[in-house]
């Protein structure tokens, strides 16, 4: 995640001298055609593992000897995506695109370091100011020594945000450059995550108002729907720490490092994501063999909303994966009880249908966007900024949080 802190750990006000010229990463940002919706819980009519856009100039799906299986397609797509990023990042000068009409040439010399705000296995995230535009941003500094798996995740994250700048519910990408072999990714700076924010609210014996939850729901569903319809991607890691907010009341999704490319609207990888938020069909070894679709993220959204609404994770702590398998796969799904929770029927219904255990009966984004709860907050004027400002400056600088997004 990328967020600001009031207690930066690094040395503030430090400039960086660039030994290597800033390098631009630039892609075709034109929208892709959405994939036809397929249901992994019913037998497909086509024998091809490829979506039609992968057939190239052929008039029919490739033969078995040509295609090599779905996993080969996925590996090739991953490899091509990484090579595309690497190749396009090595031969162009650095550009910082703050808005469509504010574009600057830049190197590390132009960035004033205001201190470290996060750290992870890949490197660090620093709050920096681009002095010419007076833009404060989060700069993710990726060490050149990260292993191949981490590099793949970081490049996937970069690829997604670079192609999502026209979505107001996804953190914005400003530009990237290389310095002494390390990659610096300049991103929109947010103030905190809902993981930190809700824990602070409940520590005051207060609760998260339903209208704030409504705005979180609208932003998250629209971001996820954008990933599916425009990029043909499933997020796979929906949780409170990956939903960010700022002082202006903006709510945005982040952390796309383990997002998966959908093949015929189905994803296969079982171990991507944060296990506590995984849907039953992703945990159950029998169900996961046939793959899963965007409805697994709908389950994760339901768990997230229930956690934000009640102030606690809806399952007791698991001591092993067998406990999780028993409760999530074999037990009843968590549900909001109207008698125990003072929420509107629309919100309770929305959360509960997201937590439908049978994935084939769980709604997809198109259905969720038609739900009365979302439609209400699409049009209702909610002052999120005032609620955030009321609490943000009083928050302790170091609250327990999931730092995996760093």
Coil vs helix vs strand at 289: coil
Cα gap 326→80, rounded to integer Å:
39
Here the tokens at position 171 are: 């953190």
Cα gap 256→23, rounded to integer Å:
22
Which of the following is catalytic: 157, 191, 237, 264? 237
Q: Who's near 370: CB < 8 A, 6+ residues apart? A: none
Cα gap 256→242, rounded to integer Å:
9
Total residue count of the chain as it appears in this document: 406
Q: Could you tell me the sign of the dihedral formed by the alpha carbons of 88, 90, 95, 96, in that order?
A: positive
Looking up tokens 């930066």, which residue turns up?
8
Q: Who's near 235: CB < 8 A, 6+ residues apart? A: 224, 227, 242, 253, 256, 259, 297
Cα gap 170→62, rounded to integer Å:
36
Coil vs helix vs strand at 208: coil
**Does the annotation place 140 within a ligand binding site?**
yes
Q: Who's near 241: CB < 8 A, 6+ residues apart? A: 1, 193, 194, 195, 196, 401, 402, 403, 404, 405
What angle do the packed helices 384-392 and 194-203 form, to 10 degrees? 70
Contact 103, 93 (CB under 8 A): no
Residue 237 known to be catalytic: yes
Cα gap 40→263, rounded to integer Å:
11
How many helices (H) and strands (E) the chain has is answered by 13, 13
User: Going edge to edge, which strands form the sheet with 173-179?
Assistant: 14-15, 111-120, 123-130, 135-142, 182-188, 173-179
Binding residues for ATP: 140
Binding residues: 140
Positions marked catalytic: 237
């Amino acid at each position: 995640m990328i967020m600001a802190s009031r207690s930066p750990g690094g040395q503030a006000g430090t400039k960086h001298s660039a030994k290597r010229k800033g390098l631009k990463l630039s892609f075709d940002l034109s929208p892709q055609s959405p994939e036809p919706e397929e249901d992994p819980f019913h037998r497909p009519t086509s024998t091809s593992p490829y979506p039609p856009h992968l057939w190239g100039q052929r008039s029919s799906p490739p033969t078995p000897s040509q295609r090599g299986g779905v996993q080969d397609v996925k590996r090739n797509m991953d490899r091509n995506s990484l090579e595309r990023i690497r190749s396009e990042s090595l031969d162009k000068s650095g550009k910082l695109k703050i808005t469509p009409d504010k574009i600057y040439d830049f190197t590390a010399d132009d960035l004033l370091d205001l201190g470290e705000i996060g750290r992870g296995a890949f490197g660090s995230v620093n709050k920096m100011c681009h002095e010419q535009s007076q833009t404060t941003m989060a700069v993710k500094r990726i060490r050149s020594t990260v292993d191949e798996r981490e590099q793949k995740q970081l490049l996937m994250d970069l690829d997604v945000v670079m192609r999502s700048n026209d979505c107001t519910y996804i953190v914005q990408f400003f530009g990237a450059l290389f310095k002494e072999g390390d990659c610096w990714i300049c991103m929109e700076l947010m103030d905190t995550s809902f993981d930190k924010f809700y824990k602070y609210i409940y520590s005051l014996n207060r609760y998260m108002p339903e209208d704030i939850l409504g705005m979180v729901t609208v932003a998250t569903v629209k971001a996820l729907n954008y990933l599916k319809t425009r990029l043909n991607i499933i997020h796979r890691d929906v949780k409170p720490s990956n939903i960010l907010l700022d002082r202006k009341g903006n709510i945005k999704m982040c952390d796309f490092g383990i997002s998966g490319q959908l093949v015929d609207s189905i994803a296969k990888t079982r171990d991507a994501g944060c296990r506590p938020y995984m849907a039953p069909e992703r945990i159950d070894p029998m169900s996961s063999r046939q793959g899963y679709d965007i409805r697994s993220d709908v389950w994760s959204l339901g768990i997230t909303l229930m956690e934000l609404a009640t102030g606690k994770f809806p399952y007791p702590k698991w001591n092993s994966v067998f406990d999780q398998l028993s409760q999530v796969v074999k037990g009843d799904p968590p549900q909001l009880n109207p008698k125990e929770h003072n929420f509107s029927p629309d919100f309770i219904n929305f959360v509960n249908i997201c937590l439908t255990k049978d994935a084939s009966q769980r709604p997809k984004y198109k259905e969720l966007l038609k739900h009365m709860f979302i439609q209400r907050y699409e049009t209702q004027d909610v002052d999120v900024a005032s609620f955030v400002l009321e609490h943000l400056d009083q928050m302790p600088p170091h609250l327990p949080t999931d730092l995996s997004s760093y």
